[in-house]
Every structure is written in C-alpha cells, then in structure tokens.
Amino acid sequence: MWASALLCWVPMVSDGDSLKVRCEPGQGPRTLTLCVAQIDAPELRQAFGRQSRRALAALCQRQRARVEVLEQDVSGRSVARVQCQGVNVAQAQVRAGMAWVAPGYVRGDGGLQALERQARQRRVGLWAQPRPTPPWAYRHRRSR
C-alpha cells in the first residue's frame, strides 16, 4: 500500500492524534514521536480529549503499526499516515467522532471529510456536544 512504510510497534499513545513508535532495526530512526496526518484531536483537558486518547489507544497501543512519515511539524514530531491492525487511524478517529479533519492539512483525504460529515449527522463522539470547540481554537484561547 505505502511504498516507504516503516513497520513499528506502539508502546505509548499520548492523545487522540499522537503516539510513540519503535521501528524495526534497519528501517530508520529507532523511536519516533508521531502526529497522525490530516486530523486534529481534542486536547486532553478539553471535552472528549480523554475519550479520543482511549479510542486511539484501543486501536494502536501495544500493537504493530504501519507508518509512512510525510514531514516534520514545528514541534519536531513526524507527521505520518498510520495503520494499526490494518485500520487507517485518521479515518477511524474521524469516523468515531474522536477527531476533526485538520483544516488546510488534507491531501488526498481518502474520504475524511465525508466521514466527518457522517459523524456530525449521527452525533457520535465529540459531535454529541451542541457546539464542540475545535482543538486549534482551544489552543489559541489557552495561549493568550
């Protein structure tokens, strides 16, 4: 599926869109801190932040992961497409209402925007709230 994919193991999930992976020897850096490409999950102290982390942990923690690093973000994390248990992590988090599609960062979205619309319509996860606060707005308010 992905030409330059790394085969890794996930020892830790930080939040709903971030995890640490240990990659097999000979396949690049030994340990990477990853941000899942194309999505933005609620911060841990935000509504649905802990549920989002738990959903990602249930899918990936202590599992094998297939990782395609796309770029580095401003924090030095690797931005990557990630599959755990054969499931596209970005799609799973958006479908379950555990993350937003990150505005401005979607490339060949694989139907992510359609999945977000469906989650909104079904009022699942964070969409059960009347007016959920996007994580980028939450971070902006907290930084002031």
CATH number of the domain within which 110 lies: 2.40.50.90
The answer to whether residue 17 is domain-embedded is: yes
Task: Calculate what percentage of the chain has a pLDDT beyond 70.
Answer: 90
Range of the domain at 77: 6-143
Whole-prediction pTM: 0.90
Question: Mean of the per-residue pLDDT values for the chain?
Answer: 90
Report if residue 90 sits inside a domain.
yes
pLDDT at 108: 63
Give the model confidence (pLDDT) of 18-48 as tens digits. 999 999 766 556 899 999 999 999 999 999 9
Residue 1 lies in a domain: no
Would you state the structure tokens that stand for residue 31, as one six-digit string? 């340990």
C-alpha distances (whole Å) from 59 to each of 13, 83, 93, 96, 114 are: 10, 9, 10, 12, 21
Number of domains observed in the structure of the chain? 1
CB 1 within 8 A of CB 67: no
